[in-house]
Structure 1
């Protein structure tokens, strides 16, 4: 396939991934505010779409990390085809987990797929293991941090407001959730949309269309818009899981969950580290629930989610490797 044609295919696949990521992860930003009735579903989705767009247009550091730390795109033969294979695998896994309502990680899917396709194309030596492991460490440690911070914030809230009437507390925190849901959607855009920008930039460098990992303006805008449009569609299956099947939400716990995850995600963005917003938000919810009482968390659902997190990386690596081998047989 001619180089210009395949780069167009890659861009379409990347923006499709971004769109799917938007509706796949919409639940993460708004499930708590819908569950506590702080926001009506349609209002929450419109708000999340706008804040995701704003967040996606604000930063590019994570994009450069994704575009250059897994492998050097300039050293990968047929690098554009590698990216195409990676995106096919990541999209397939995202759609599979969305269909079954499993809040798996789009970030794990994308990073795993890129690594798997690179290995299939150029061998294990082509992977930048220092950069790859740095990303994996961030993906593993960020949920643990979110759980801890969520536990602490909820414990503080319970201590401060122990003697307040439930009705008074609920009305105040329900109002505050509008702002924390907005902050969470903004932080989601600052991190998740950057991954698609990074993968497109990887393909552009690999295909010789540009020499550096600087994110072109058209890449930035198109990725931001694709994610915002995806968010506007809404992922109702996952909203149900995140909003009701982990813990029973009250406005105070919803506020604590939103604030925790937003702080962890924006912190990761500032140090240019891609994290799984799904993992962070779900772990924050578990931490908040544990602060109320350990039995408040529906651990059966939590175990199912963690299982999906654990298998996503190896499964997408294998899927991407197979995808690249098929692409190689057909086009190379």
Structure 2
């Protein structure tokens, strides 16, 4: 081998070592910042509540609440911005900033000062014989659910933080009192959402993608079709988000009736349509009649949808971190049990800041998973995922069905990918359009193109546009989230009962 070849190989090894060293260093810095945040959470707790005989429990609860918030940010927020990042409508840094700002705003402005700490009524605190049992049980539930979400993030599986908390509460309820403590009717409704959420989200996303393909992408004049339909689609999204935020985002201080919701949704649709119609026309002027041009027209709607989804998520899921902490604080200080408690502002700050910090430190891994590793995204597909998330929550709320926002968003990603697989196999129109486009590029006077399919039927059947390994990993994590969290919670509670 020549000296030059040896030198190149040595330099390449050095580059790999340097890259590995940078990766390890970044990981250590992230862990250090996370540990510092947990320490400050405990310090804030002792500063606000003061020294007392229960101070150690309060500090421990605050640290666990901060740990849970970090894990929510690392895992759950990816569903809101991942598709937009995968579609390259947003950079990773831009997505992190937008998500952090709107998650914090949602948590602090609309997070709710009264939180259902017993996870949607899954256990009845009146049946708990001793407040101390309740306090230690909540500590076990919070720790076990946070550890499970941490593990799911490590393996790259977006899971429902609400289901993790449900499992944790279920486990300590059974371990502390027995099966009679559990409201099995409520638990059954929550379990139904494991199937309802992803299926409903996937179907709605696939239907919108089919509509976009047939009415915009595969039209002869794509720009004219885009000018007609994109304002309507964006207006539909605006109406859906107006309804979504009215029902979910501002429930702390406003509960509108159905008539009011319809007025808000229709009004938002009308206003946004009036704005978008001339805006899309101006944006489309001079654009070529190709798919790449269409993608540019979806960028702004995607950014807006990511921000609105993050706001609604912060308003709703911050309760998974701070609810148990508020319950522990209430039980320790008042010595009473209650299904609903008031959340102090300092606890809300820990939850809101922890979610944003977890997103910055550990969120990119799951953002890449949701945005690009399950199936390839473009702005049209990502738009369908975002719109599906809002519409599915509306439909489920109207039907009285419990759903998971995580399962909806990831189910929508699956739905888009599986629809693409099916469409690729069956679409003769697509092959005909490709033939016309190729003939157009060659010129009308050229001999007719003998267009052969881009792929043989056997090759098309083998094409998997959804990565099966990720699909199976995520579905398996969904199935075991509640039982795993319950088993962890019961084990932790048993250990704590021995040492306390």
The normalised TM-score by structure 2 is 0.61
Say if 2:343 is the partner of 1:292. no
Among 101, 105, 109, the alignment partner of 2:160 is 105
After TM superposition, give the deviation of residue 174 of structure 1 in Å. 2.4
Check if 1:64 corresponds to 2:116: yes
Secondary structure at 1:147's aligned position in 2?
A: helix
8 Å Cα contact 2:111-2:318 kept in structure 1: no
Match of 2:40 in 1: none
How far has the Cα of 1:45 moved from its partner? 0.2
- Separation in 2 of the partners of 1:316 and 1:53? 26
How many residue pairs get aligned? The number is 331
Q: Which segments of 5 or more consecutive residues in structure 1 lack a partner in the other structure? A: none
Shift of 1:2: 4.6
User: Rg bigger for which structure?
Assistant: 2
Separation in 2, partners of 1:193, 1:145: 24
Q: Take 2:377 and 2:341, find their aligned partners in 1: how far apart are those partners? A: 42
- Find the residue that maps to 1:69 and give its secondary structure: coil
Please give the alpha-carbon distance, in whole angstroms, between the structure 2 residues aligned to 1:18 and 1:270. Answer: 29
**Aligned partners of 2:194 and 2:478 also within 8 Å:** no
Q: Please point out which of 166, 181, 185 is paired with 1:126.
A: 181
Shift of 1:89: 1.2
* 2:481 is the alignment partner of 1:312: yes
Deviation string 1:82-136 (CA, Å, 9 cap, x unpaired) is 0111122112212222222222332222210111012111111112222333333
Aligned to 2:88: 37
Q: Determine if contact 2:74/2:358 at 8 Å carries over to the other structure.
A: yes
In structure 2, the CA distance between the partners of 1:60 and 1:264, relative to structure 1 (3 Å rule), is farther
1:293 and 1:67 map into 2 onto residues whose CA distance is 38
**Post-superposition shift, 1:318?**
0.8
Q: How far is the alpha carbon of 1:217 from its aligned partner?
A: 4.2
Partner of 1:254: 382
Are the structure 2 counterparts of residues 275 and 124 from structure 1 closer, same or farther at C-alpha, using a change threshold of 3 Å?
same
Greater shift, 204-213 or 291-300, is seen at 204-213
1:61 is displaced (CA, Å) by 9.1
Q: Which residue of 2 aligns with 1:141?
A: 196
Say whether 1:160 aligns with 2:218. Answer: no
Cα 1:319/1:83, change in 2 over 3 Å: same
Contact 1:22 1:227 in 2 (8 A): yes
Moved more, 286-295 or 15-24: 286-295
Which string of whole-angstrom CA distances, capped at 9 and with x for unpartnered residues, describes residues 236-284 of structure 1?
A: 2222321222111111001111221244357768999874333221101
SS at structure 1 position matched to 2:89: coil
Distance 2:97 2:64 in 1: 25
Q: Distance in 2 between matches of 1:202 and 1:232?
A: 28
Q: Is the 8 A contact 2:62 2:325 kept in 1?
A: yes
Distance 1:189 1:301, change over 3 A: same
User: How well do the aligned residues superpose, as a CA RMSD in angstroms?
Assistant: 2.7
- Measured in 2, the distance between the counterparts of 1:303 and 1:261 equals 21
Tell whether 2:351 aligns with 1:223. Answer: yes
Q: CA deviation at 1:51?
A: 1.2
Q: Under a length normalisation based on structure 1, what TM-score does the superposition of the two structures give?
A: 0.89
> Counterpart of 1:63 in 2: which secondary structure?
strand
* Deviation digits for residues 13-55 of structure 1 (CA, Å, limit 9, x no counterpart): 1222012211222322222121121111111101001111122
**Structure 2 unaligned runs (5+)?**
1-51, 223-289, 423-463
Partner-residue secondary structure (3-state), 2:76: helix
Deviates more, 1:215-224 or 1:43-52: 215-224
Q: For 1:307 and 1:240, how far apart are their aligned partners in 2?
A: 19
